[in-house]
Structure 1
Amino acid sequence: MPFPKFLKIGLYILGTFAVLAGGALTWAYQYRDDVFQYLLKEANARIRGTVTARKLDFTPFAGGFGLSFTLFDIHLRDSAYAIHHKELLALERLTVHIDLRQLLRKQLQINSVTVDKGKLSVFVDKNGYSNLQAVAPKDSSSTQDTTTSAEGSLGKELLKSLRQVKVKEMEVHLQDSLKGKDIHFCLEKITNDLERTDTCLWVHLRGKTQFRQLTFNLNRGGFLENKATELDLHLSYDLHRRVGIGPSEVLVEQDTFRLRGSFDFKDEGRVQLFVSTDTIAAPRALSILPRRLAKRIAKHKVLPVVKAEVSVDGPLRTGADPHIEVEVQTQTFLYKSAIGPLSQTVGRAHFTNRSDTSLPVSNQNSRLVAPHVSGLLYGVIPMNLSFTITDFDDPFLHMEGNTKANVARCKALFDPNQVQPKSGNVVVNFCYKGKISPIFDPKTNRLNGKLDGNAKLEKVAFLYTPQQIDIQRVDGFVRFAEDKADLTYLHVYHQKNQVRVSGNVTGLTPYAFGTTASVKAKVSIFAPDLGLDWIRNYRPTPQKTTKKQLTDITSKFIQNLDLKVHLAARRVHYRKFEAQGVSGRVYMTRQAIRCEDVKMHAFGGDFRVTGGIEQFDLPTHRLYAKGKVANADVQKVFYAFENFGQQTVSDQNLSGTLSTDFTYSTQLDKEFQLLPKTMKGQLSFHLINGQLNHFKPLLRIQKVIFKRRNFQKIQFEGLKNEFVLQGQELSMNQMKVASSVLTFFVGGTYSFGDKTDLLVHIPLNNLKRNPEEEELETLDGNNLLIRAVDERGEIRLKYDMDWRKKIRRPQR
C-alpha cells in the first residue's frame, strides 16, 4: 500500500475519533448540570435524609472510553442532625465513570465508582434511634415518593453496568449503644469488582484495611484492635437480602485467615462464618482477641503455633452472643506447667460456648475439650493428658493423665553425687477435678480441687551416693489423693535385705508444684533378715552438688521428712549385734533415728530398749538408750557391744545370766564408732551363775595368796549392784562377791581408760578351808586390803599386810 494512502486512512480514523470526542464533550457540558441535579433530586426524593454536594465535574476518557463525573464535598445527614451533629456520610470526592459508547446511544450507565477520603458514621443511641433513618424510604403518602416508573427505571439503568467500586481512605464507624457494639475501621485502598445476574450481585473485594476495633460486646472488649489487614473477599448479595462470603482470605499482619459464610438480613438477621488458619502463633492470635479475654488466656501460658478452624453462628440484631465452635491443632511447643517444663508439647482441642444445647450461649455454658495432649516433662519423661474446662466465668478443670518414665533415661535430672538412677520404670496415672486458676495455692500449700491417682514402680534400681546405699530393686504400688499417698505395697531389695513396706504419706503434693511442706510418713516395715551395717557408710560432709530438678525435689523432701515406722523383723544384725523377733516403733528424720519400745530376743534373753542416734548433720553423732535386759548371756552382751570400747574385761572373760535396767548415752564418730570418753549412764546390775575366766588382775592376787585355788575360772553365786558411768569411769558401791575361790568386797571406780581405782577387802577368814558363812558376811574381822590402780595402762595391785588392822565398814 502506498504510504500516502496509508496516511490518509490514519488521518481519517483520527478525525472520526476527534469528532466523536468533541461531540461527547459537548454533550457532557450540555447535560452536566442536569445530571448533577438529577442525582441530588433522585437521592433526596427517595430517602428521609438530606444529600448535598458542592459541585459536579467531569474528565473525558478517564479510565477507558468514557467520561468520569466527580461529585465534590458530599454530605448525607439525617433529619435529627441539628441535635446530635453526626453526619451519616461525608465524602471529599465521589467519581463515577460512564461508558461513552452507551452515552452516544443516549443511555446513561455507570461503569465504575471511586470514593476518595470520607467517613461513614452509623450510630444507635440508648433510646434506639439510629441515623440510618436518613437512608430509609420516605412515606408512601409523600408526593415526592410518587415517582414514575420511568424515573425508577432510570435509577436501575444507572447501576446496570456498574463493574467496579474503588474506595480510598474511607473511615467506617458503626456504634450501637443499645446493644453495646462498636465497629471501627478504615478502608485504606479497596477495589470491588462487580458482576450481576438477574438474582444476585457478585463482588470481589480486595485491598488494605486498618481495623481500629471490632467490638460486639463493650463489656468484653474488642477484636482486631489497631490491626492492619489485607482483604481478598468474594461476596454475593441476592434478592433475599443475603450476603454470602465465598472462599476468601484475610491477611492480619503476617497471618492468613481463610473464611466463608453468610449474613442474612431478613427479619432478625443471622450471621454464619467459618474461619481457618494453618500457622498462627498464639501471642499474635491473642492480640486479635479482646484484651480481657486475651489476658485470661495468656495467664495460663499456653502459647503455641496452632492450626485453627472457627465457626460462628448467631443473630445480627438481637444483641445475643453468637454460637462459636473452635477446633485447634498445635505445633510442638514448650509449656511451663506448675509441675515443671513440658517440652515438645503437642495437642488438639475443641471449644464451644454452647456445650448444653438446651441452654443459651454464655461463658457458663462454654467448654474446652482437649482429648489428647502429649509432651516430655523435664525433656525426658513422656506425659499424656486429656482435659476439659467448663464454666469460663469460674473455670473448672477435669484432667486425666499418665506417664511411664524410664528411670535410666532420667539420669540428667539427678545430681550423681546424690542419686544415680540405674534401671526400671515408674508408671503414674492421675485425675484432677477442680479449679484451674490456680490448680495449687502456694499460700495454703493445697490443691484447689480433688486429685486421685496411682503410681507403680517396676524393678527400679538406683544408688544413693552419700551413704553408698545400692538399691538393687524396688517394686511398689501407691494410691494417692490431694494430700495423702497410700503405700499398698513397696518391696525394697538392698544388699541381702528384703524389706516390705506399707502405710501412708501426707504432704507430698507441694513438692510436685515446687514448694515445700512438712512430710509425714507412717509405715509398717517387715524384713525377714535386716542388716544395718550400711549405716556406717553415712557421710557427714556431703560431696559437692549441682542443682538438678529431681535431686532438688528429693533433697527438700528428705529434709522435711518425718517418718514413723512400725518395724517387725525376724532377725536384725549390726556389726556383732544380733537379735531375733524384733518389733517396735522407729522414727526417722534427716537428723535422727529414734526407737520406741523396741522388743527383741537378744543375747540369749529378752531385750527392750528405747533410744536412738541423732545429730547426723554434725561430725559426731549422739547415741542414747534406755532399756531392760532380762536373763541375757553376759558374754553375748559384751560381744554384741564390742566390750563397750574397753579391753580390760572382755567377752572372753565373762559368762553368766544378766538382768539389768540401764540408761546410756555416748557420742559416735563419723564411722559410728563409740567415743568412750563421752559415755554416760546408770546400770542396775544382777548377774547369776556368773563366771570370770582368765581375768589377769585376779590371777595376780593368786601369786600372793591362795595359790592352790583355781583363779582361772571363778564362779559367783550372784552379783547385784548399782553402777554409774561417767566417761570411761564406772563407779560402783561396795559389793560382796562370793566366788568359788574366795569371798571379797569390792567398790570404787573401774575405768575403761587409765583411771581404775578399786578397793578390794578380803576377809582373812577365807584362809579357812571351810569358813562359816556368817564369818564372811561382814568386814568386822581382819581383812587383806588390795587396791587395784591403773599405772601406765596396766592394773597394779597394792597390798596392806597389817592383818590385825580393823577396817570399819562405811556408815550407811
Structure 2
Amino acid sequence: MNKITFSEILNKRNPLPRWAKLSVKIVLGIFLFVIVAYMSLAFYVNTHKKELLASITAEINENINGKLTAESMDPTFLQGFPRISLQLKNVKVTDSLFQTHQHILLEANDFDISINSFAFLRGALEIRKIEIQDARIYLYTAENGYSNSSIFKSKDDKKAENSNGSFFAEVKNFQLHNVTFVSDNQKGNKLFQFVINDLNGRLKYNSDGWDAHIKLDALAKSLAFNTKHGSFIENKTLGGNFDIRYNEDAESILISPNDLKIGEDTFNIKGKFNISKENSQFSIGIIADKILWKKASNLLSNNISKQLDRFDLEKPIDVTCDIVGDLNSQDDPLIYVKAKIKDNRLHVPDGIVDNCNFTGIFTNEYIKGKGFDDPNSAVKLLDFKGDYQEIPFVMDTALISNFEKPMASGTFKSQFPLEKLSKTIDKDLLVFTKGNADVSLKFKADIVNFEITKPIFSGLVNVKNGDVIYVPRKLRFKNTNVALDFTEKELLIKNITLQSGKSVILMEGDIQNFLNLYYTDPERIVLNWKVKSPQLHLAEFLGFLGSRKSKQMVKQSKNKNTFSDNLNFLFEKSNVAMNVQVDKFYYNKFYATDVRANVLLSQTGIAVKNAHVTHAGGFMDVDGLLAQGKTTNKFAINAVVKNVNIEKFFYAFNNFGMESMSSKNLKGFLYSKANITGSISNDGKLVTNSMNGTVDFDLQKGALVNFEALKSAGKFAFPFRDLDNVTFTNLNGKFDIKGEKIKIYPMKINSSILNMDLAGVYSFGKGTNITLDVPLRNPKKDKDITDEELLEQRRNRGIVIHLLASDDEDGKVKIKLVSKKTSEKAVEE
C-alpha cells in the first residue's frame, strides 16, 4: 500500500494555494521546534535542579536586601505551558536585620514560580508568575521605625545598579492560597492580621509603576489601628475585587472604588496608602447603602462600638465611613462616620423612639487639633425627629462627646396633649385628662456605664388648661397652668393657676440648686412657694392629711428606676416652703379672711409658722405642727386669740367637743393663749379625748345665755335673778387639758347675777368634779362701787354656799350642796 502524506490529504480535501501550504509547513515546523526545545529544556531543568535553584535564589537575593532560602526545587512541566513552573519547598525570606528582631518575612511550604522558557533558552531568568500556599507573611515595624519590608530595594538602589531591570518587573500574575498575613507595627501600635484563603492578582506595568487587579477571599483576624482600643472588622470574612495602582515616583498605592463583602454585607471601598519613609499617610473610604445598625457597630473597634451599642435601629441605614491616618503614628487615625436614618425605630436605654429621622455623625476628632482619641470623640445627631411614648419631639442638634467621660447635650422641643404622659408617668402617681404642654429645653447629661444619668436642663416647660389628679393624696386640679423655667442653678415656677372644686390658687416659686439636689440628695430639696388665693376651701385638700400613700414601685432590672419612679420619689422626699396669702378661707364651719402664713410641707408632716388669721371680728396668730400618720395625725398648736367673738369662735370649732355648753350659750370677746397637742383623723375630725395642753383666756364683755347647767343650779337659790342672760365684767382663767379632762384652775367669776369662785375638773366623759363657792349677796348692790379693794371685801359678805358639780353613775352632771371643808378638800385634790 502506498503511503499518503499529510499534504496530500489536505490537497485532496481542500486544494490550497501555494502560499497557504507554505504557511502550514512553517507553523508545523515552529510547533515541532518548540516541542523539541521545550523537551530539551525540561530535560535540562530536570538534570540541573540544584544549579537552577542556586541561580534563582542568587537572582532573587541580588534584588533584595536580605536572603531567600529554599530546601528543594521540583519542576512541573505541564503546569503553565509553555512556561516552565518550578516548585520551591520550605521557602524562607528574611531581611538583613533578621538576627536582631527575629521576625521571618515569609515562610512558605510551597512557593511556585513560572519562568519564561524562551528567555531561559537565551540564558536569562524571567519570572512571570508567583504562587504561594500554606505560608505566613509577617511585616514587622520596630519601635524605631525600621521595617523588614525594607528587604525590597528602593528605586534609588535600583537606578544605581547597572542593569536592564530586575526579574520582578516581569511578574505578571501572583496567587496566594491559605496564607496568613500579619502587619505588626510596633511604632504605630497597629496590628493587621488576615487569613487569605485565596488571592488572585494580575499585574500590568507602566512607566509610573504598575496596575493590579486582585480577587480576594479572606478572613480578617485583626484590623487594629490602635491595639489598645481593639480591632475593626474582627473575625469577619472578606470577599471581592480590588483595582490597585502603584506610583513608583510618588511611592503611593491607590485602591479604586470597588464592592467588598464584609461578613454578610456589601461595602464600596476605596483607599490610598503612602509608603515612603517621609510620608506614611493613608486614607480609606467606605460606603454601605443598606446595613443594620448593630452590624455596622460590630465592624468598629470596641471603644467605639460599646458606645454605639447602647442604641439600635430596626431598619437598615445608609452609612459612609472615612478613615485617615499615619501608618507609623502611635495615634489613632481620624475616623468619620456618617449615617442617614429615615422613618426608623430607635431603641434607647430608656425606651423606644418611633418615626425616627436624623443624620448621625461620629468623629474621633470633635475639636480640630486635639487628637484622635476617646476624650475628643463625639456623636452628633442632626435634625433629630421622633415620637417617644407617643410624644413627638424635635432636636435640631444633639451631641454625645468625650467617650472617656461621655457627656450628652442638645436642645429638646416638643408640643403634645398632656394625656400622652400616661405612658411616661405611672397612673398611680399622676393622671392627666386634659391640657397641652409646650417644652423647649437645653440639656446636658453624664453617661455612666453606658446609661444617660443626671441630665441638667435649662429652658421652659409650659402647661396650659391641664386637668390632673395627684393619686397618692387623691387631689384633683382643673384648668391648671404652669410655667417651669429651668436655669443651671435653680428651677423657677411661674404663672401657676390651680383650681380644685371651689378653690382657686395662684402660685409661683423656685427651687434653688434643684437638679444637683434632685440627683444627689432629694430630701434636701426645698420648693419655695408664694401662694395666693381669692378663696380656699381646706376640705378640698384633706388629702394632705395623713401619710402619703406611696405607689408600689415596680422592681427594675439592675436597680434601674424609671422617670416616673424618680418623680414619685421626689414628691415623697422633697420639702415645700410656702408663703400663703388667702383672701377667704373655709373649713367646715370655720371662716376666716386675710389669712397669712408660712407653711412647710415635709416628708414627716406639715409645719405652720407666723400664721395670722382674721376671724370672728378678731384675729388669731398660730404656730403649729402636724405629724402625719397612716390613719390619724398628731398636731401641736401655739395660738394667740385676740378680740374674737366667742360665739362664732366656738361655732367654728364645734364647741371644742363640749356637749353641755354650745356657742349659743356664749357672748363676748375672747383673748386667749393656748398650747395644745392632739390628734386629727385623715378626714379632718378631731380625735376624741386626744387633746393635751394649757389654755389661758380672758373673756371681755362676756355673757352666758340660756346655759341650762347654771339655770338648773340657780333657779332655786336665785329665783328672782335673771339667769337667762348672765353678764361678766371680766372673766379670765387657766385650763389644763389632759385627754377627756380639763383642769380648771381657781378663778373668780363676777357676773350680773352672782359672784362665784370656781375650780376643779371638767370631763367630756366621766370624772367631772367642780367646786363652786357662791356668795348669795346680789352683785347689783355693789354696782356703783369702783374701788376694787372695797368690792373684794364686800364680795363674800353674807351667806356663801358651797356647791359640788360631779357626774353620777349615768355620766350626768349633778350639782349638790357641800360643806366648806368638803369644797376646800375638792379644790386641793
Q: TM-score normalised by the shorter chain: which range applies?
A: 0.7 to 0.9
Distance 1:350 1:356, change over 3 A: same
Partner Cα separation in structure 1 for residue 823 and residue 259 of structure 2? 126
* 2:645–2:668 CA contact under 8 A, matched in 1: yes
| SS in structure 1 at match of 2:684 | coil
1:171 aligned residue: 180
**Contact 2:636 2:678 (C-alpha < 8 Å) held by counterparts:** yes
- Tell me what 1:490 maps to: 496
- Please tell me whether residue 588 in structure 1 is matched to residue 601 in structure 2: yes
1:797 matches 2:797? no
Q: Structure 2 residue aligned with 1:255, among 265, 268, 277?
A: 265
What count of residue pairs does the alignment treat as equivalent?
787
* Partner Cα separation in structure 2 for residue 142 and residue 786 of structure 1: 141
1:531 is matched with 537
Picking from 325, 329, 338, the partner of 2:340 is: 329
| 1:746 aligned to which of 755, 758, 761 | 758
In structure 1, what is the equivalent of residue 112 of structure 2? 95
User: Is the Cα–Cα contact under 8 Å of residues 419 and 551 in structure 1 kept in the other structure?
Assistant: no
Residue pair 2:742, 2:762 contacting (<8 A) in 1 also:
yes
Report the 3-state secondary structure (helix = DSSP H, G, I; strand = E; otherwise coil) of the residue aligned with 2:663: coil
Q: 2:229 aligned with 1:211, yes or no?
A: no
Please give the secondary structure, in 1, of the residue aligned with 2:778: helix
| 2:528 alignment counterpart | 522
Q: Between 17-26 and 460-469, report the one with greater CA deviation.
A: 17-26
Question: Cα–Cα, structure 1 residues 400 and 415, in superposed 2: closer, same or farther, change >3 Å?
Answer: closer
Query: By how many angstroms is 1:544 displaced?
Result: 9.3
**Whole-angstrom distance in 1 between the partners of 2:732 and 2:166:** 136
Letter in 2 for 1:192: G
The alignment status of 1:733 with 2:742, answered yes or no, reads no
Q: Which moved more, 1:176-185 or 1:763-772?
A: 763-772
The residue type paired with residue 704 of structure 1 is F
> Partners of 2:549 and 2:118 in 1: how far apart?
98
Root mean square deviation, CA, Å: 4.4
- Distance in 1 of aligned mates of 2:158 and 2:473: 104
Q: Which moved more, 1:316-325 or 1:463-472?
A: 316-325
> Is residue 43 from structure 1 mapped to residue 31 from structure 2 by the alignment?
no
Q: For 1:603-643, what per-residue CA distance to the aligned partner results, in whole angstroms no more than 9, with x for missing partners? A: 1112111113222x232212321111111111011011111
Relative to structure 1, the CA distance from residue 40 to residue 724 in structure 2 (aligned partners, 3 Å threshold; closer, same or farther) is closer
Structure 2 counterpart of 1:173, one-letter code: V
Letter in 1 for 2:63: R
Pick which of 569-578 and 244-253 moved more: 244-253
Question: d(CA) in 2 for partners of 1:368 and 1:543?
Answer: 43
Q: Which amino acid aligns with 2:706?
A: H
Residue 433 (structure 2) aligns with: 422
1:386 aligns with 2:397: yes
1:736-771: per-residue Cα shift (whole Å, max 9, x none)?
Answer: 333333333333233333433333333232399788
The 8 Å contact of residues 415 and 547 in structure 1, kept in 2 or not, is answered as no
Alignment map for 1:572-721 (pairs within 5 Å):
572-615=585-628, 617-721=629-733
- The one-letter code matched in structure 2 to 1:479 is D
Q: Which moved more, 1:477-486 or 1:573-582?
A: 477-486
Measured after TM superposition, the shift of residue 289 of structure 1 is 4.0
| Per-residue deviation, 1:122 | 2.9
Distance 2:704 2:175 in 1: 123
Distance 1:5 1:651, change over 3 A: farther
Residue in structure 2 matched with residue 411 of structure 1 by the alignment: 422
Match of 1:187 among 193, 196, 218: 196
Contact 1:563 1:587 in 2 (8 A): yes
Provide the secondary structure at the position in 2 that maps to 1:707: coil
Superimposed CA distance per residue, residues 235-281 of structure 1 (whole angstroms, 9 cap, x where no aligned partner):
23345444221222333333333211322445524423211224555
DSSP-derived class of the 1:500 partner:
strand
> SS at the partner of 1:184?
strand
Report what 1:568 is aligned to.
Answer: 581
Shift of 1:189: 1.3
CA distance in 2, matches of 1:92, 1:811: 122
Cα distance 1:251–1:575, how it changes in 2: closer, same or farther (>3 A)?
Answer: same
> Is 2:668–2:701's contact at 8 Å kept on the other side of the alignment?
yes
Cα shift at 1:346:
5.6
Query: Does the CA-based 8 Å contact 2:345-2:352 persist in structure 1?
Result: no
Equivalents in 1 of 2:744, 2:660: separation in Å? 16
Partners of 1:654 and 1:328 in 2: how far apart?
84
> 1:609 is aligned with what amino acid?
V
Counterpart residue type for residue 699 of structure 1: K
Partner SS for 1:674: coil
Aligned twin of 1:272? 283
Query: Do 1:381 and 1:406's aligned partners in 2 also have CA atoms closer than 8 Å?
Result: no
Which shifted more, 680-689 or 318-327? 318-327
Deviations 1:131-188 (A, max 9, x none): 3343326997999x444x4xx49875x44xx3x4321012223334344443332322
C-alpha distance in 2 between matches for 1:153 and 1:683: 119
Q: CA deviation at 1:70?
A: 3.1
Inter-partner Cα distance in structure 1 for 2:218 and 2:491: 59
Helix, strand or coil: the match of 1:26? helix
Give distance in 2, aligned partners of 1:806 and 1:371.
93
Which residue does 2:21 correspond to in 1?
none
CA distance 1:710–1:368, change in 2 (3 Å): same
The 3 A distance-change label for structure 1 pair 76 and 687 is closer
> Which SS does the other structure have where 2:279 is aligned?
coil
Note closer, same or farther for the CA distance 1:216–1:624 as it changes in structure 2 (3 Å cut). Answer: closer
For 1:118 and 1:807, the matched residues in 2 are separated by 123
**Residue identity matched to 1:675:** V
Q: Distance in 2 between matches of 1:138 and 1:66?
A: 29
The aligned residue for residue 360 of structure 2 is 349
Q: Which runs of 5+ in 1 are unaligned?
A: none
TM score, norm. by length of structure 1: 0.84
Cα deviation for residue 679 of structure 1 reads 1.7
1:505 aligns with 2:515: no
Q: Describe the superposition over 1:482-523 as per-residue Cα deviations: whole angstroms up to 9, x where unpaired.
A: 563122332222222221222222465379769854321222
TM-score (norm. length: structure 2):
0.82
Aligned to 1:458: 464
- Structure-2 separation of matches of 1:771 and 1:139: 139
**Amino acid paired to 2:223:** L
Q: How far does residue 89 in structure 1 lie from its aligned partner after superposition?
A: 2.5
SS at structure 2 position matched to 1:697: helix
Change (3 A) 1:688 1:259: same
How many Å separate the matches in 1 of 2:191 and 2:686?
A: 85
AA partner of residue 428 (structure 1):
V
The letter for the 2-side match of 1:246 is: S
Check conservation: 2:389, 2:420, Cα contact below 8 A.
Answer: no
Shift of 1:209: 1.8
Note closer, same or farther for the CA distance 1:790–1:413 as it changes in structure 2 (3 Å cut): farther
Task: Give the drift of 1:525.
Answer: 0.9
Cα distance change, pair 29–540 in 1 and its aligned pair in 2 (3 A): same
Q: 1:754 to 1:17 in 2, by over 3 A?
A: farther
1:781 aligns with 2:781: no
Going from structure 1 to structure 2, the CA distance change for 1:359 and 1:643 (only over 3 Å counts) comes to closer
Q: Which runs of 5+ in 2 are unaligned?
A: 14-23, 555-561, 786-790
Which residue of structure 1 lines up, in the alignment, with residue 131 of structure 2?
Answer: 114
Q: Distance in 2 between matches of 1:247 and 1:221?
A: 26
Q: Does structure 2 conserve the Cα–Cα contact (< 8 Å) formed by 1:189 and 1:207?
A: yes
> How many Å apart are 1:199 and its aligned residue?
5.7
Tell me if 1:73 matches 2:90.
Answer: yes
Identical-pair percentage: 20
Query: SS at 1:612's partner residue?
Result: strand
Q: Which moved more, 1:745-754 or 1:511-520?
A: 511-520
Contact persistence 1:564–1:586 (CA under 8 A): yes
